[in-house]
């Protein structure tokens, strides 16, 4: 491709492009164009020897001067036919880049659909003619824009991109809300929020979301709503409910999804529909927070406590936190929903703090009872038992009555490690400081950190002993054991009990998850074994018993958030039992949660027994307040990857010393801990270390981090063995 050389006298544009990591280039680069372009316009520009997509940005009051003797390169092309990204979107990206300490261009381009980043102006023009409503042409030199609608589009365009709803703004059908649902919905309708919807599992939070979305869209023909869920596997059933409710009002195309499980053309189509205002409702995972939604009036963050809302690669943003910022910036309402809110949100909704309005829905729909918790002390059970006899008897009884059971173990594979008892060899990954997991179905050892896989050896590679054995348990082993233990159990349909497994290994193929969930809903599965991906959000109507087999590990983790996550996971898992009150009543049974533990007297399990999240949260917040941990302090991690652990830690230590020597702003309120290796310190042959920063003042921490960036870039040049470094603001795992 022939890249343009310096342009003749022309308009100078400031363009955000994704520059190489740690290049220390400025946030915006200067390019020349033969006409002025409004901020938010997408352009193709030369960058080195490549041509890349860029976003025309708001010009600073004093544009940076060009180096002497250097002329700006010319814009290669303008992506016509698509309305510019509006000021609200640009403010969101700019805030996220500033807060999470990333380059503006990196975040702006990562927020766009992958396929859009690759299209030429001609390709985009053809696509827009095929699938999208027309937009007014971009203004030429000396031309101004026309009158805009609420979405920022030209109202004089012959094909206005904001269609009026089909079928009027009325209510589809008659949806009867419970008293608790009606009270919560009324509060959301009349108050500004933000709202924390604290509803027990099965209390009908989704119906409140549907009501609130309906109210938001009815208020304006240009209004849009964003509904986020933490994981891809939760989007199909949510999309089905939203289409059922809103397709009769606004047409089937008014509801779109945005998540990484879609193909690139699908993602681009949904994104363009949202950008044009044709999509009134966008359902998605964390990436959807950056969708272009000119008419945004409501954001819903379901399961707001879930750690999946925090990006763990590249720009480590929190979609939940950005939802709060974006709603405030655009004058939209935001609803955070959960049966086990994050402790940060719970604290913010304390009336004494008053940042969020807490709405409570403690009862299940249909007067359904919450599951009883049955704790099994594994110290009193037969040695080596995978399933305690009382639990196995309870599962057998349920299956013989035609009910379904869910068995939870948050570890896939057959066993965490293979072990030779003769010489002590373990199936360690050659590239990571972690074990390779034994997968019995395909007889492989796989590292779940770097992806390295190999066949299971016939004998110990160290001593030749043929008797190497699996140690520990994974979902594969549970599935196999249950199938064996239940082989003689007969269901009311006079067939043998069926055991199935749903985890990341069984759902790799396209459509596999939907097919397996359909089998569960149809009653073709009697016992479902799975990881956390089936423990939340799913509406299984016939499951009446849930069992957690090995939950104790998180009780003694070095991560202070581990108890919070364990409590949330177990509460969410328990919520899968007894969701259909009429079915439970007809079966004359009571839903149960069985928990096998070596620590039955632990305070976490005592709170879980009574489904008492407020008591658990109060105890955890008291501990964190005493220790000065979030939400009573603010944290950031600096992580370094290097060829050796010594190099990684030396870089971090030098960066800390440079910050102290320079007396950076905010330093007096920031405590810098010594660098330490990560829990899994080597991944894919790269050593990893981290250094924690903590401050009682968020502003002080942000000032320090911003001033520290040039010093971090400078230190990187002095440590040749350093592979990369990054700053993780508000980390979710330490």
For the chain, domains (ranges, CATH) are: 11-131 (3.40.1440.60), 179-366 (3.40.50.300), 368-412+474-626 (3.40.50.300), 416-472 (no CATH), 634-729 (3.30.70.360)
Dihedral (Cα; 535, 540, 545, 549), 10-degree rounding: -20
Contact 482, 499 (CB under 8 A): yes
Q: Is 460 annotated as a binding residue?
A: yes
Dihedral (Cα; 705, 706, 711, 714), 10-degree rounding: 120
Alpha-helical regions (H) of 353-509: 389-400, 475-485
Is 173's pLDDT higher than 50? Answer: no
Strands 676-683 and 686-695: antiparallel
Q: Is 33 annotated as a binding residue?
A: no
Is 161's pLDDT higher than 50? Answer: no
| pLDDT band, very low/low/confident/very high, at 538 (cuts 50, 70, 90) | confident
- What are 650-689's pLDDT values in tens digits? 999 999 999 999 999 999 999 999 999 998 889 998 999 9
The mean pLDDT value for 542-561 works out to: 86
Q: Is 463 annotated as a binding residue?
A: yes
Alpha-helical regions (H) of 490-561: 512-521
| Calpha distance 670→565 (Å, rounded) | 27
Of 63-72, 134-143, 286-295, the least confident: 134-143
Show the tokens assigned to 653.
Answer: 């230590």
pLDDT above 90 covers a percentage of the chain that reads 51
- What are 500-521's pLDDT values in tens digits? 888 888 887 777 888 888 888 8
Q: Is 420 annotated as a binding residue?
A: yes
The mean pLDDT value for 40-55 works out to: 92
Give pLDDT, residue 236. Answer: 82
* pTM as predicted: 0.86
Taking residue 143's Cβ as centre, other Cβ atoms within 10 Å add up to 11
Is 148's pLDDT higher than 70? Answer: no
| pLDDT band, very low/low/confident/very high, at 21 (cuts 50, 70, 90) | low
| pLDDT band, very low/low/confident/very high, at 300 (cuts 50, 70, 90) | very high
Is 475's pLDDT higher than 80? Answer: yes
Q: Is 149 annotated as a binding residue?
A: no
| Calpha distance 659→715 (Å, rounded) | 11
The mean pLDDT value for 180-198 works out to: 94
- What are 315-374's pLDDT values in tens digits? 899 999 999 999 999 999 999 999 999 999 999 999 999 999 999 998 887 666 788 899
Give pLDDT, residue 410. Answer: 82
Is 171's pLDDT higher than 60? Answer: no
| pLDDT band, very low/low/confident/very high, at 167 (cuts 50, 70, 90) | very low
The mean pLDDT value for 619-634 works out to: 94
Q: Is 162 annotated as a binding residue?
A: no
């Amino acid at each position: 491709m022939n890249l343009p050389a310096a342009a003749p006298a022309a308009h100078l544009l400031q363009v955000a492009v994704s520059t190489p990591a740690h290049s220390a280039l400025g946030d915006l680069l200067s390019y020349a164009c033969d006409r002025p372009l409004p901020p938010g316009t997408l352009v193709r520009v030369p960058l080195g020897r490549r041509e890349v997509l860029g976003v025309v940005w708001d010009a600073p009051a004093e544009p940076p001067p060009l180096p002497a003797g250097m002329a700006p390169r010319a814009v290669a092309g303008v992506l016509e036919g698509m309305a510019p990204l509006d000021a609200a979107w640009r403010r969101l990206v700019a805030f996220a880049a500033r807060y999470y300490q990333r380059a503006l261009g990196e975040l702006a381009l990562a927020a766009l659909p992958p396929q859009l980043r690759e299209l030429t102006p001609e390709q985009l023009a053809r696509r827009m003619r095929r699938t999208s409503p027309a937009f007014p042409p971009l203004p030429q030199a000396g031309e101004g824009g026309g009158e805009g609608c609420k979405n920022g589009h030209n109202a004089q365009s012959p094909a206005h991109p904001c269609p009026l709803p089909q079928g009027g703004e009325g209510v589809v059908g008659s949806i009867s809300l419970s008293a608790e649902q009606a009270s919560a919905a009324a509060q959301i309708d009349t108050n500004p929020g933000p709202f924390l919807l604290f509803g027990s599992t099965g209390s009908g939070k989704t119906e409140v979301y549907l009501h609130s979305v309906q109210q938001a869209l009815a208020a304006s023909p240009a209004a849009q709503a964003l509904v986020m869920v933490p994981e891809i596997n939760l989007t199909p059933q949510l999309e089905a409910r939203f289409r059922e409710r809103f397709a009769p009002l606004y047409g089937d195309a008014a509801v779109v999804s945005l998540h990484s499980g879609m193909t690139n053309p699908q993602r681009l189509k949904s994104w363009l529909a949202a950008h044009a205002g044709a999509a009134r409702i966008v359902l998605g995972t964390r990436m959807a927070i950056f969708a272009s939604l000119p008419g945004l009036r409501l954001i819903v963050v379901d399961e707001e406590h879930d750690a999946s809302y925090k990006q763990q690669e590249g720009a480590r943003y929190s979609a939940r936190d950005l939802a709060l910022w974006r709603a405030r910036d655009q004058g939209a309402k935001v609803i955070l929903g959960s049966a086990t809110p994050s402790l940060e949100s719970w604290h913010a909704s304390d009336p004494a703090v008053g940042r969020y309005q807490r709405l409570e829905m403690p009862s299940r729909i249909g007067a359904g009872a919450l599951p009883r918790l049955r704790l099994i002390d594994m110290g009193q059970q037969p040695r080596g038992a995978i399933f305690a006899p009382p639990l196995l008897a309870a599962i057998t009884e349920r299956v013989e009555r035609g009910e379904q059971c869910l068995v939870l173990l948050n570890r896939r594979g057959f066993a965490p490690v293979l072990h030779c008892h003769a010489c002590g060899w373990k199936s360690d990954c050659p590239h990571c400081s972690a074990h390779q997991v034994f997968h019995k179905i395909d007889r492989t050892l796989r590292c779940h950190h770097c992806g390295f896989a190999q066949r299971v050896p016939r004998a110990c590679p160290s001593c030749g002993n043929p008797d190497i054995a699996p140690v520990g348990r994974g979902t594969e082993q549970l599935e196999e054991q249950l199938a064996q233990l239940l082989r003689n159990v007969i269901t009311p349909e006079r067939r043998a009990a069926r055991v199935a497994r749903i985890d990341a290994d069984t759902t790799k193929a396209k459509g596999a998850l939907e097919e397996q969930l359909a089998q569960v809903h149809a009653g073709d599965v009697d016992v479902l074994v799975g990881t956390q991906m089936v423990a939340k959000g799913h509406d299984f109507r016939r499951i009446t018993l849930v069992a957690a087999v090995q939950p104790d590990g998180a009780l003694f983790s070095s991560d202070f958030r581990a108890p919070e996550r364990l409590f949330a996971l177990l509460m969410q898992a328990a919520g899968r039992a007894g969701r259909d009150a009429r079915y439970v009543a007809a079966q004359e049974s009571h839903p149960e949660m069985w928990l096998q533990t070596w620590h039955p007297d632990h305070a976490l399990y005592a709170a879980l027994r009574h489904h008492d999240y407020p008591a658990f949260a109060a105890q955890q917040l008291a501990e964190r307040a005493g220790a000065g941990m979030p939400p009573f302090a603010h944290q950031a991690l600096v992580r370094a990857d290097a060829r050796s652990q010594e190099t990684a830690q030396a870089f971090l230590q030098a960066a800390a010393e440079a910050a102290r020597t320079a007396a950076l702003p905010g330093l007096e309120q920031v405590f810098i801990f010594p660098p330490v290796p990560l829990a899994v310190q080597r991944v894919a042959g790269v050593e990893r270390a981290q250094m924690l920063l903590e401050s009682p003042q968020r502003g002080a921490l942000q000032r320090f981090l911003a001033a520290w960036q040039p010093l971090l870039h400078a230190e990187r040049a002095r440590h040749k063995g350093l592979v990369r470094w990054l700053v993780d603001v508000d980390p979710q795992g330490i």
